[in-house]
């Protein structure tokens, strides 16, 4: 990403201006409409949260951090079939990990009794009726955006009959889909969602919290807004696709005379080269295109966490992309930029050689010695670590060239380089096996060139990372790339899974690291010098230490694409 783009990112320069929701809230507080505000984050527990949800979380919780008030976590669990306790637990873990605290943990299913009472109120006011039409029949009577719909033959049932039928629906007398409860609004309404929307359906299904108590369940529109009112949510923030639902939201509040929550909409945030839909992510999991919801290639919060993203970097990302009214695709490079910025400040520097080439330092007569190197040059309190140096070391195979072009500053016959935090070495001899493969290099070192006390007067341009052979530990490295080959896999012909990137995971089993890495901790973040940012993976065992590459040091993707 160019400096230009970085500067243009919202939040990239000085204080950003208020977003439209902050403007509304400041106005509401100033006018005295509210003394404090209440928001909610309302996930449906049918999958793991993804980076799009992070925007909604940061927005809802961020507003009540900035202004007086609080945020509820509400599980929108009105659909018994797709919801599971596993998802509820993961959602709570993710919100907490992102650094937010909810005031109340609520479930739409807690309100099933109240919602059922509201439905009876509507029937009693002759504002709802039981309809026996099939879904096809209902669709046929719905009309089109330009033509009005027609009334159902069941629309004029008496209040008594409706009350009786609704009670029998609840009692389990009718099979799934045979009847619905519909709001009686206007089949000629210009807004199709106001044409007698279904508010209750029959579903003989076990619910993850209410068990078998119910066989009728409220529809989204008859649960969401009402739950907002029950919790006295002041600003109910959702995504743009709910704009047409707002009229029904307001109508139900008015007819039921309940707390006047208000709905506001903002644009969904999607990032390129991935999908952000729980339903699609679930397919990737169940069809085993990834190892699970927390596969480090997934755009889920748990995947990003396992990959090494920090909560700070995700909050920074959400802040930078900001809140908008217009949908747009955010470049994943922005997310990577945010994590690099944070990791650069906190990551411990370590040396790891991915493809080792042995170097023998022929004039190194000394005993093994312990050198020191800063843990993090960005952090004055970061301290130093010990690095053993010895006669035999490893360097990266591609840091050596037998026939080097001009301006090649790495190692080549007769050429000198500095070993990071150690000495300057010079390549004297290349050793090969019978097939002509390079098996080791013989070098000499300059004893006066020790980093920190260099009196050699020699200037070299290249600095290489290295690992002492004797004390090296072997590591497995997992490098990740874009999960999809195209920017928007859902916008292509055919199934989105046809566009999966077959090279999204590269496993390197030859890597060797400095001994300090034997004590790596899951919460620590590392920069492997000249390689990228890494963190320990949960697959690590006593016999295998595994690191995930969070992100490269620089944005290599754009360059790669131009080749």
The C-alpha angle with vertex 416 and arms to 413 and 422, in degrees rounded to 5, equals 130
Size of the site for Mg ion (CB under 5 A): 1
Active site residue 268: yes
Determine the interface stretch with ligand ATP among 14-22, 276-284, 306-314, 365-373 (rule: CB under 6 A): 276-284
Of 393, 394, 427, give the one whose Cα is nearest residue 410: 427
Binding-site member from 268, 289, 442, 497 for ligand ATP (CB under 6 A): 268
- Selecting among 92, 268, 482, 497, the annotated active-site residue is 268
Determine the interface stretch with ligand ATP among 245-253, 254-262, 273-281, 399-407 (rule: CB under 6 A): 273-281
Task: Find all residues with CB under 8 Å of 184, minimum gap 6, and list them.
Answer: 126, 127, 128, 129, 155, 196
Taking CB under 6 A as the rule, does residue 235 contact ligand ATP?
Answer: no
Task: Find all residues with CB under 8 Å of 85, minimum gap 6, and list them.
Answer: 45, 208
Question: Of ligand ATP, Mg ion, none, which one sits near residue 465, judging by CB under 5 to 8 A according to partner kind?
Answer: none
Where in 25-64 is the site for Mg ion (CB under 5 A)? 44
CB closer to Mg ion out of 49 and 290: 49
Reduced to 3 states (helix: H, G, I; strand: E, B; else coil), residue 368 is coil
Taking CB under 6 A as the rule, does residue 238 contact ligand ATP?
Answer: yes
Binding-site member from 52, 69, 308, 532 for ligand ATP (CB under 6 A): 52
Determine the interface stretch with ligand ATP among 92-100, 262-270, 482-490, 507-515 (rule: CB under 6 A): 262-270
Q: In 10 A of CB 186, how many CB atoms? A: 14
Taking CB under 6 A as the rule, does residue 272 contact ligand ATP?
Answer: no
Active site residue 74: no
Determine the interface stretch with ligand ATP among 17-25, 274-282, 287-295, 329-337 (rule: CB under 6 A): 274-282
Taking CB under 6 A as the rule, does residue 225 contact ligand ATP?
Answer: no
CB closer to Mg ion out of 140 and 243: 243
| Residue 273 backbone zone (phi > 0: left; psi -120 to 50: alpha; other: beta) | left
The one-character DSSP state at 241 is G
Taking CB under 6 A as the rule, does residue 42 contact ligand ATP?
Answer: yes
Task: Find all residues with CB under 8 Å of 129, minimum gap 6, and list them.
Answer: 123, 152, 154, 155, 156, 157, 162, 181, 182, 184
Instruction: Extract the runs of DSSP E, i.e. beta strands, from 275-316.
Output: none
Question: Of ligand ATP, Mg ion, none, which one sits near residue 277, judging by CB under 5 to 8 A according to partner kind?
Answer: ligand ATP
What the block records as the tokens of 406 is: 């001009």
Could you give the CA distance from residue 357 to residue 510 in angstroms, rounded to a whole number? 11
The least CB distance from residue 44 to Mg ion, in Å, is 5
Please give the C-alpha separations between residue 377 and each of 233, 338, 339, 350, in angstroms, as whole numbers.
47, 19, 18, 12
The least CB distance from residue 258 to Mg ion, in Å, is 23
- Selecting among 278, 305, 349, 478, the annotated active-site residue is 278
Q: In 10 A of CB 229, how many CB atoms? A: 21
Cross-strand bridge partners of residue 384: 374
Could you give the CA distance from residue 353 to residue 443 in angstroms, rounded to a whole number? 18
- Selecting among 44, 428, 476, 487, the annotated active-site residue is 44
Question: Of Mg ion, ligand ATP, none, which one sits near residue 52, judging by CB under 5 to 8 A according to partner kind?
Answer: ligand ATP
Do 69 and 234 contact (CB within 8 A), yes or no? yes
CB closer to ligand ATP out of 55 and 471: 55
Reduced to 3 states (helix: H, G, I; strand: E, B; else coil), residue 553 is coil
Taking CB under 6 A as the rule, does residue 43 contact ligand ATP?
Answer: yes
> Residue 91 half-sphere exposure, CB side, CA atoms within 13 Å?
28
Determine the interface stretch with ligand ATP among 25-33, 37-45, 105-113, 120-128 (rule: CB under 6 A): 37-45
CB closer to Mg ion out of 60 and 376: 60
The least CB distance from residue 340 to ligand ATP, in Å, is 23
Taking CB under 6 A as the rule, does residue 55 contact ligand ATP?
Answer: yes
Size of the site for ligand ATP (CB under 6 A): 15
CB closer to Mg ion out of 43 and 69: 43
Instruction: Extract the runs of DSSP E, i.e. beta strands, from 18-149.
Output: 37-41, 69-75, 105-107, 128-131
Total number of residues shown for the chain: 563
Active site residue 44: yes
Binding stretches for ligand ATP (CB under 6 A): 42-44, 52-53, 55-56, 238-239, 268-270, 276-278
Binding stretches for Mg ion (CB under 5 A): 44
Catalytic residue numbers read 44, 268, 278
């Amino acid at each position: 990403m160019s400096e230009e783009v970085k500067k243009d990112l919202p939040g990239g320069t000085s204080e950003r201006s208020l977003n439209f929701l902050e403007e509304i809230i400041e106005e509401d507080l100033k006018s005295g409409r509210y003394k404090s505000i209440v928001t909610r984050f309302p996930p449906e527990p049918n999958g793991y949260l993804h980076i799009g949800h992070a925007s909604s979380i940061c927005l809802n919780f961020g507003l009540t951090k900035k202004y007086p008030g609080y945020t509820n976590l509400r599980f929108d669990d009105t659909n018994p079939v797709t919801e599971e306790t596993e998802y509820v637990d993961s959602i709570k873990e993710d919100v907490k990990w992102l650094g937010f605290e909810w005031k109340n943990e609520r479930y739409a299913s807690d309100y099933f009794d109240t919602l059922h009472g509201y439905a009876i109120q509507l029937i009693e006011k002759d504002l709802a009726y039981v309809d026996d039409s099939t879904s096809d029949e209902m669709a046929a009577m719905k009309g089109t955006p330009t033509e009005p719909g027609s009334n159902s033959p069941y629309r004029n049932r008496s209040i008594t009959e409706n009350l009786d039928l609704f009670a029998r629906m609840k009692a389990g007398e009718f099979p799934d889909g045979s009847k619905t409860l519909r709001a009686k609004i206007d089949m000629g309404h210009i807004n199709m969602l106001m044409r007698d929307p279904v508010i209750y359906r029959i579903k003989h299904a076990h619910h993850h919290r209410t068990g078998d108590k119910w066989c009728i369940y409220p529809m989204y529109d008859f649960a969401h807004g009402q739950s907002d009112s029950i919790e006295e949510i002041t600003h109910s923030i959702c995504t743009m696709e709910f704009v047409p639902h707002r009229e029904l939201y307001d109508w139900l509040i008015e007819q039921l005379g309940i707390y006047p929550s208000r709905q506001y909409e903002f644009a969904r945030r999607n990032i390129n080269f991935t999908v952000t839909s729980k339903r699609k992510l679930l397919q990737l999991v169940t069809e085993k295109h990834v190892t699970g919801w927390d596969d480090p290639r997934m755009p889920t919060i748990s995947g990003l966490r396992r990959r090494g993203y920090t909560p700070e970097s995700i909050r920074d990302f959400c802040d930078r992309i900001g809140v908008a009214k217009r949908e747009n695709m955010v470049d994943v490079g922005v997310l990577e930029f945010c994590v690099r910025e944070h990791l650069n400040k906190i990551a411990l520097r370590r040396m790891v050689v991915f493809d080792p080439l042995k170097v023998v330092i022929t004039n190194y007569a000394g005993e093994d010695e312990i050198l020191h190197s800063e843990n993090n040059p960005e952090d004055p309190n970061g301290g130093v670590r010990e690095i053993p140096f010895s006669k035999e070391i490893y360097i990266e195979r591609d840091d050596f060239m037998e026939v080097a072009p001009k301006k090649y500053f790495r190692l080549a016959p007769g050429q000198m380089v500095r070993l990071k935090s150690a000495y300057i070495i010079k390549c004297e001899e290349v050793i090969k096996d019978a097939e002509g493969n390079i098996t080791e290099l013989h070098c000499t070192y300059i004893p006066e060139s020790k980093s920190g006390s260099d009196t050699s007067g020699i200037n070299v341009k290249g600095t290489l990372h290295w690992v002492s052979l004797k004390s090296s530990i072997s590591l497995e490295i997992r490098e990740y790339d874009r999960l999809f080959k195209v920017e928007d896999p859902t916008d292509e012909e055919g199934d989105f899974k046809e566009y999966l990137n077959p090279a999204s995971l590269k496993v390197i089993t030859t890597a060797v690291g400095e001994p300090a890495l034997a004590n790596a901790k899951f919460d620590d973040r590392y920069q492997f010098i000249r390689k990228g940012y890494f963190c320990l993976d949960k697959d690590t065992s006593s016999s295998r230490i595994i690191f995930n590459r969070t992100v490269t040091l620089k944005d290599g993707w754009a360059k790669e694409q131009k080749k």
